[in-house]
Amino acid sequence: MIGHCVHSYVLVKSLVGLGDHLGAARMLVRVAGSISRFPKHVVPILTSTVIECQRAGLKKTAFEYASMLMRPEYRSQVSDKYRKKIELMVRKPDRGEEPQERLASCPFCQLPGPEGELQCISCQNTIPFDIATGNRMTLQDWCECPGCHLPCSSQAFLAILSAEGRCPMCNEAVSMQEVRQMKDPLASYNQQGQAAAACMGSAGAAVPTRPVVALPPPSSS
């Protein structure tokens, strides 16, 4: 699943750019959940997670990661800009209810599950990762990037293309007209599954060296 983690992290920048702070926060929570795989990036990833969760109203989760950041081994590495704000969050926690994750049907067995959960708890299949949202693919809206042939939902992919002009995963310039709905997505996904999996392992494996989130000024939320 390391490919998914890296891709989730890469996607954060595009989601923040589109103002989708909830989507960005959920991707960062996924990455933060495997933080031991990013030993050189712990503090920037956790800082971004706290900030985006706070902006998205995931206050309880923001508090959890803020507490982690205030441990002695990380605290001194937190940028001065954010340390005070994060300290305050830990001292005066706001642990209100968080919005429930939306449900989406599994493309293999049709049973609904949280849209960000890539393993179906019913049929146990690994559900393809939507490169435009980071969530599970659904049969209702299944396209692919003409460059890397990884699956994506059209609405979200078109939104990224209109903002950036490029696929967030392979970085190819893609015109909106090239994006087409797939007629029988599972059949062609199974054929291409091997190639796509190999692509996830190699092309996607480079971890960005800088934090991908342009953090807002501390006063903005």
* Residue closer to Zn ion (CB basis): 88 or 109: 109
* Residue closer to Zn ion (CB basis): 44 or 204: 204
- Cβ at position 147, least distance to Zn ion in Å: 4
* Residue closer to Zn ion (CB basis): 15 or 169: 169
How many angstroms separate the CA atoms of 188 and 180, rounded? 14
- Cβ at position 198, least distance to Zn ion in Å: 14
- Cβ at position 89, least distance to Zn ion in Å: 37
How many angstroms separate the CA atoms of 30 and 130, rounded? 14
* Residue closer to Zn ion (CB basis): 139 or 215: 139
- Cβ at position 37, least distance to Zn ion in Å: 23
For Zn ion, the binding residues (CB under 5 A) are: 106, 108-109, 120, 122-123, 145, 147-148, 167, 169-170
Roughly what angle, to the nearest 10 degrees, separates helices 80-91 and 59-69? Answer: 120
